[in-house]
Amino acid sequence: MHQRNPLRIAGLPPASLQAKLQGIVMSVGQALEHMRDNRASREQTAVMADELIKEELKIRGIRGARLPYVSRVSPEPLALLEHLIGESKPFLLADVLSGMENYRTDVTMNFPRVRWHEDHWAVSLAIVCGSDPIVAAAYVPLYELTLSAVRGAYLFINGQDWRWHLHKKMASPVEEIVPLVEWSWWGTPAERRARFLRAHLALEEFADPQVLGASVVSGALVAAGRRHAVALLGAQPWEQAAIGLLLRESGARVTSIGGGGWDIFSPSLLSAAPVIHKLLVKRLRSQGPWRGPPPASITRLFE
Protein backbone atom coordinates (compact mmCIF):
# COMPACT_ATOMS: atom_id res chain seq x y z
CA MET A 1 0.00 0.00 0.00
CA HIS A 2 1.36 3.44 -0.96
CA GLN A 3 2.20 5.60 2.05
CA ARG A 4 1.31 9.26 1.83
CA ASN A 5 4.04 11.85 2.09
CA PRO A 6 4.29 12.70 5.81
CA LEU A 7 4.84 16.34 4.95
CA ARG A 8 1.40 16.44 3.32
CA ILE A 9 -0.07 14.93 6.47
CA ALA A 10 1.48 17.82 8.37
CA GLY A 11 -0.12 20.16 5.85
CA LEU A 12 3.16 21.64 4.66
CA PRO A 13 4.34 21.20 1.02
CA PRO A 14 7.96 20.06 0.58
CA ALA A 15 9.12 22.95 -1.62
CA SER A 16 7.81 25.50 0.86
CA LEU A 17 9.46 23.73 3.78
CA GLN A 18 12.77 23.54 1.95
CA ALA A 19 12.75 27.29 1.33
CA LYS A 20 11.76 28.02 4.94
CA LEU A 21 14.48 25.82 6.44
CA GLN A 22 17.03 27.37 4.11
CA GLY A 23 15.99 30.85 5.25
CA ILE A 24 16.13 29.83 8.92
CA VAL A 25 19.67 28.43 8.88
CA MET A 26 20.92 31.48 6.96
CA SER A 27 19.26 33.91 9.36
CA VAL A 28 20.47 32.11 12.47
CA GLY A 29 23.98 31.63 11.08
CA GLN A 30 24.30 35.31 10.19
CA ALA A 31 23.09 36.28 13.66
CA LEU A 32 25.70 34.00 15.21
CA GLU A 33 28.41 35.60 13.09
CA HIS A 34 27.66 38.92 14.79
CA MET A 35 27.77 37.31 18.23
CA ARG A 36 31.29 35.86 18.00
CA ASP A 37 32.80 38.36 20.45
CA ASN A 38 30.48 37.56 23.34
CA ARG A 39 32.02 35.80 26.32
CA ALA A 40 29.29 33.24 26.83
CA SER A 41 30.24 29.66 27.70
CA ARG A 42 29.83 26.84 25.19
CA GLU A 43 26.56 25.80 26.81
CA GLN A 44 25.24 29.38 26.83
CA THR A 45 26.20 29.82 23.18
CA ALA A 46 24.33 26.64 22.22
CA VAL A 47 21.25 27.78 24.16
CA MET A 48 21.32 31.17 22.42
CA ALA A 49 21.55 29.49 19.02
CA ASP A 50 18.68 27.19 19.99
CA GLU A 51 16.50 30.15 20.96
CA LEU A 52 17.28 31.87 17.65
CA ILE A 53 16.12 28.80 15.72
CA LYS A 54 12.92 28.51 17.76
CA GLU A 55 12.14 32.16 17.14
CA GLU A 56 12.70 31.78 13.40
CA LEU A 57 10.47 28.71 13.33
CA LYS A 58 7.67 30.73 14.94
CA ILE A 59 8.15 33.66 12.58
CA ARG A 60 8.01 31.39 9.53
CA GLY A 61 5.00 29.46 10.80
CA ILE A 62 6.40 25.93 10.96
CA ARG A 63 6.75 25.41 14.71
CA GLY A 64 3.87 23.76 16.50
CA ALA A 65 2.29 20.56 17.69
CA ARG A 66 2.39 19.11 14.18
CA LEU A 67 6.18 19.46 14.01
CA PRO A 68 7.81 19.01 17.43
CA TYR A 69 11.35 20.36 17.82
CA VAL A 70 14.47 18.64 19.18
CA SER A 71 18.09 19.83 19.43
CA ARG A 72 21.24 18.98 21.36
CA VAL A 73 20.16 21.33 24.19
CA SER A 74 16.67 19.85 24.55
CA PRO A 75 16.05 18.04 27.87
CA GLU A 76 17.06 14.37 27.35
CA PRO A 77 17.12 14.69 23.55
CA LEU A 78 17.77 11.00 22.80
CA ALA A 79 14.79 9.87 24.92
CA LEU A 80 12.64 12.52 23.23
CA LEU A 81 13.74 11.32 19.79
CA GLU A 82 12.89 7.71 20.61
CA HIS A 83 9.41 8.81 21.71
CA LEU A 84 8.82 10.82 18.53
CA ILE A 85 10.06 8.02 16.30
CA GLY A 86 7.71 5.62 18.06
CA GLU A 87 4.81 7.91 17.11
CA SER A 88 5.87 7.86 13.42
CA LYS A 89 5.24 11.58 13.09
CA PRO A 90 7.54 14.15 11.45
CA PHE A 91 9.62 16.39 13.74
CA LEU A 92 12.32 19.06 13.50
CA LEU A 93 15.89 18.16 14.47
CA ALA A 94 18.58 20.85 14.76
CA ASP A 95 22.33 20.96 15.18
CA VAL A 96 22.22 24.46 16.59
CA LEU A 97 25.98 24.99 16.32
CA SER A 98 28.12 22.34 14.64
CA GLY A 99 31.76 23.03 15.48
CA MET A 100 31.05 24.80 18.75
CA GLU A 101 34.69 24.49 19.79
CA ASN A 102 35.72 26.32 16.60
CA TYR A 103 33.13 29.05 17.18
CA ARG A 104 34.69 29.68 20.59
CA THR A 105 38.06 30.95 19.44
CA ASP A 106 39.58 30.77 22.94
CA VAL A 107 39.38 26.97 22.95
CA THR A 108 42.58 25.07 22.15
CA MET A 109 42.88 21.49 20.91
CA ASN A 110 45.79 19.06 21.02
CA PHE A 111 44.61 16.22 18.81
CA PRO A 112 47.16 14.81 16.33
CA ARG A 113 46.98 15.60 12.61
CA VAL A 114 44.14 18.09 12.97
CA ARG A 115 43.71 21.09 10.68
CA TRP A 116 41.66 23.25 13.01
CA HIS A 117 40.17 26.54 11.86
CA GLU A 118 38.24 28.84 14.15
CA ASP A 119 35.67 29.58 11.42
CA HIS A 120 34.75 25.95 10.75
CA TRP A 121 31.25 26.01 12.21
CA ALA A 122 27.74 25.68 10.81
CA VAL A 123 24.02 25.52 11.57
CA SER A 124 21.77 22.73 10.28
CA LEU A 125 18.09 21.84 10.52
CA ALA A 126 16.18 18.80 9.28
CA ILE A 127 12.65 17.45 9.23
CA VAL A 128 12.73 13.76 10.10
CA CYS A 129 10.07 11.06 9.88
CA GLY A 130 10.85 7.78 11.56
CA SER A 131 14.64 7.77 11.55
CA ASP A 132 15.12 9.23 8.05
CA PRO A 133 15.49 12.91 7.14
CA ILE A 134 13.06 14.15 4.49
CA VAL A 135 13.90 17.88 4.28
CA ALA A 136 17.19 19.49 5.33
CA ALA A 137 19.19 22.69 5.19
CA ALA A 138 22.64 23.81 6.38
CA TYR A 139 24.54 27.10 6.43
CA VAL A 140 28.36 27.22 6.40
CA PRO A 141 29.51 30.87 6.68
CA LEU A 142 33.24 30.39 6.03
CA TYR A 143 32.58 28.91 2.56
CA GLU A 144 29.45 31.00 1.88
CA LEU A 145 27.42 27.83 1.40
CA THR A 146 23.70 27.40 2.01
CA LEU A 147 22.54 23.90 1.12
CA SER A 148 19.01 22.48 1.12
CA ALA A 149 17.25 19.40 -0.19
CA VAL A 150 14.03 17.39 -0.16
CA ARG A 151 14.22 13.61 -0.19
CA GLY A 152 14.03 12.34 -3.76
CA ALA A 153 14.93 15.71 -5.32
CA TYR A 154 18.18 17.40 -6.27
CA LEU A 155 20.42 19.33 -3.92
CA PHE A 156 20.16 23.12 -3.93
CA ILE A 157 23.23 25.24 -3.17
CA ASN A 158 22.83 28.97 -2.52
CA GLY A 159 19.31 28.74 -3.91
CA GLN A 160 20.34 27.19 -7.22
CA ASP A 161 19.44 23.68 -8.42
CA TRP A 162 22.85 22.03 -8.25
CA ARG A 163 22.18 18.86 -10.29
CA TRP A 164 25.72 17.79 -9.54
CA HIS A 165 26.28 14.18 -10.61
CA LEU A 166 28.93 13.27 -8.10
CA HIS A 167 29.69 9.84 -9.58
CA LYS A 168 30.66 11.46 -12.90
CA LYS A 169 32.63 14.38 -11.52
CA MET A 170 34.69 12.68 -8.82
CA ALA A 171 37.08 10.23 -10.49
CA SER A 172 40.34 11.23 -8.81
CA PRO A 173 43.31 8.85 -8.59
CA VAL A 174 43.61 7.20 -5.18
CA GLU A 175 46.61 9.28 -4.17
CA GLU A 176 44.62 12.50 -4.74
CA ILE A 177 41.65 11.55 -2.54
CA VAL A 178 41.53 13.67 0.63
CA PRO A 179 38.99 12.25 3.14
CA LEU A 180 37.54 14.38 5.94
CA VAL A 181 37.23 12.55 9.27
CA GLU A 182 35.17 13.82 12.22
CA TRP A 183 34.59 12.19 15.59
CA SER A 184 31.92 12.88 18.18
CA TRP A 185 32.76 14.02 21.71
CA TRP A 186 31.37 11.05 23.63
CA GLY A 187 33.84 8.88 25.51
CA THR A 188 37.15 9.66 27.18
CA PRO A 189 39.79 11.86 25.51
CA ALA A 190 41.85 8.75 24.72
CA GLU A 191 38.85 7.07 23.07
CA ARG A 192 38.16 10.19 20.99
CA ARG A 193 41.74 10.36 19.78
CA ALA A 194 41.79 6.63 19.10
CA ARG A 195 38.68 6.80 16.91
CA PHE A 196 40.34 9.42 14.75
CA LEU A 197 43.72 7.70 14.55
CA ARG A 198 42.09 4.38 13.71
CA ALA A 199 40.38 6.02 10.73
CA HIS A 200 43.59 7.82 9.80
CA LEU A 201 45.56 4.58 9.73
CA ALA A 202 42.85 2.86 7.69
CA LEU A 203 42.95 5.64 5.10
CA GLU A 204 46.71 6.21 4.99
CA GLU A 205 46.98 4.98 1.39
CA PHE A 206 45.02 8.08 0.41
CA ALA A 207 46.16 11.66 0.87
CA ASP A 208 46.46 12.76 4.49
CA PRO A 209 42.95 12.75 6.07
CA GLN A 210 41.84 16.12 7.42
CA VAL A 211 39.74 17.12 10.41
CA LEU A 212 37.78 20.39 10.38
CA GLY A 213 36.18 19.98 13.79
CA ALA A 214 32.58 20.31 12.55
CA SER A 215 30.58 17.42 11.11
CA VAL A 216 28.15 19.64 9.20
CA VAL A 217 30.98 21.65 7.60
CA SER A 218 32.77 18.49 6.43
CA GLY A 219 29.57 16.95 5.06
CA ALA A 220 28.58 20.16 3.29
CA LEU A 221 31.95 20.44 1.54
CA VAL A 222 31.61 16.90 0.18
CA ALA A 223 28.00 17.51 -0.92
CA ALA A 224 29.14 20.67 -2.70
CA GLY A 225 31.99 18.87 -4.48
CA ARG A 226 34.80 20.66 -2.65
CA ARG A 227 36.12 17.55 -0.88
CA HIS A 228 36.19 13.87 -1.84
CA ALA A 229 34.76 12.02 1.16
CA VAL A 230 33.63 12.33 4.76
CA ALA A 231 33.57 9.84 7.65
CA LEU A 232 31.69 10.65 10.88
CA LEU A 233 32.52 8.49 13.87
CA GLY A 234 30.12 8.27 16.81
CA ALA A 235 27.91 11.10 15.56
CA GLN A 236 24.70 11.94 17.41
CA PRO A 237 21.39 12.11 15.46
CA TRP A 238 21.36 15.93 15.32
CA GLU A 239 24.95 15.97 14.03
CA GLN A 240 24.21 13.84 10.98
CA ALA A 241 20.48 14.15 10.15
CA ALA A 242 20.64 17.14 7.82
CA ILE A 243 24.00 16.33 6.30
CA GLY A 244 23.00 12.72 5.54
CA LEU A 245 20.13 13.89 3.32
CA LEU A 246 22.17 16.65 1.66
CA LEU A 247 24.87 14.13 0.76
CA ARG A 248 22.35 11.64 -0.62
CA GLU A 249 20.72 14.24 -2.84
CA SER A 250 24.13 15.38 -4.12
CA GLY A 251 24.60 11.96 -5.70
CA ALA A 252 27.01 10.62 -3.09
CA ARG A 253 26.63 7.20 -1.47
CA VAL A 254 25.75 7.38 2.22
CA THR A 255 26.32 4.32 4.42
CA SER A 256 27.79 3.33 7.75
CA ILE A 257 31.57 2.95 8.03
CA GLY A 258 31.23 -0.74 7.16
CA GLY A 259 29.11 -0.05 4.08
CA GLY A 260 25.76 -0.97 5.67
CA GLY A 261 22.56 1.03 5.89
CA TRP A 262 22.47 4.50 7.43
CA ASP A 263 19.90 6.47 9.41
CA ILE A 264 20.12 9.24 12.01
CA PHE A 265 20.84 6.74 14.81
CA SER A 266 23.72 5.02 12.99
CA PRO A 267 26.98 5.09 14.99
CA SER A 268 28.89 6.18 11.90
CA LEU A 269 28.45 7.74 8.47
CA LEU A 270 30.61 7.34 5.37
CA SER A 271 29.91 9.29 2.20
CA ALA A 272 31.66 9.73 -1.15
CA ALA A 273 31.10 9.31 -4.86
CA PRO A 274 30.25 5.62 -5.54
CA VAL A 275 33.61 4.69 -7.06
CA ILE A 276 35.52 6.32 -4.19
CA HIS A 277 33.09 4.94 -1.61
CA LYS A 278 34.01 1.36 -2.56
CA LEU A 279 37.69 2.03 -1.95
CA LEU A 280 37.02 3.68 1.41
CA VAL A 281 34.76 0.87 2.68
CA LYS A 282 37.39 -1.72 1.77
CA ARG A 283 40.08 0.12 3.71
CA LEU A 284 37.91 0.94 6.73
CA ARG A 285 36.70 -2.65 7.04
CA SER A 286 40.31 -3.69 7.46
CA GLN A 287 40.28 -2.05 10.88
CA GLY A 288 37.66 -4.50 12.22
CA PRO A 289 34.68 -3.60 14.44
CA TRP A 290 34.19 0.13 15.06
CA ARG A 291 32.17 -0.33 18.24
CA GLY A 292 33.60 -0.93 21.69
CA PRO A 293 37.02 -0.01 23.14
CA PRO A 294 39.81 0.90 20.70
CA PRO A 295 42.50 -1.73 20.09
CA ALA A 296 45.45 -1.65 22.50
CA SER A 297 47.84 -1.09 19.58
CA ILE A 298 46.15 2.26 18.86
CA THR A 299 45.52 3.28 22.48
CA ARG A 300 49.22 2.86 23.26
CA LEU A 301 50.04 5.65 20.82
CA PHE A 302 48.53 8.08 23.30
CA GLU A 303 50.23 6.80 26.44
If asked whether residues 37 and 74 sit together in one domain, one would say: yes
Domain membership flag for residue 296: yes
Domain end call among 110, 133, 161: 161
Q: What is the tens place of the pLDDT at every residue in 244-272?
A: 999 999 989 999 887 889 999 988 889 98
If asked whether residues 173 and 152 sit together in one domain, one would say: no
Domain membership flag for residue 1: no
For residues 219 and 285, the model is more confident at 219
| Single pTM value for the model | 0.84
Tell me, what's the pLDDT at 42?
A: 73
Dihedral sign, Cα of residue 149, residue 136, residue 128, residue 278: positive
If asked whether residues 118 and 207 sit together in one domain, one would say: no
Residue 122 pLDDT grade (very low, low, confident, very high; cuts 50, 70, 90) = very high
Domain end call among 161, 181, 205: 161
Q: What is the CATH number of the domain that holds 173?
A: 3.40.190.80
If asked whether residues 135 and 244 sit together in one domain, one would say: no
Dihedral sign, Cα of residue 293, residue 296, residue 300, residue 303: positive
**Which residue range is the domain that position 185 belongs to?**
166-302
For residues 138 and 174, the model is more confident at 138
Cα dist. 40→10, 18, 53, 94, 212 in Å? 37, 31, 18, 20, 23
If asked whether residues 198 and 127 sit together in one domain, one would say: no
For residues 161 and 1, the model is more confident at 161
How many domains in the chain? 2
If asked whether residues 122 and 258 sit together in one domain, one would say: no
Tell me, what's the pLDDT at 242?
A: 97
182 φ, ψ (degrees, to nearest 5): -125, 145
Q: What is the CATH number of the domain that holds 12?
A: 3.30.540.10
If asked whether residues 178 and 140 sit together in one domain, one would say: no
Q: What is the tens place of the pLDDT at every residue in 29-83?
A: 999 888 876 767 777 888 999 999 999 998 888 865 578 999 989 999 989 998 8
If asked whether residues 11 and 154 sit together in one domain, one would say: yes
Q: Is the pLDDT of residue 273 over 80?
A: yes
Residue 130 pLDDT grade (very low, low, confident, very high; cuts 50, 70, 90) = confident
Domain end call among 161, 180, 195: 161
Report the alpha-carbon distance of residue 8 to residue 38 in Å, rounded: 41
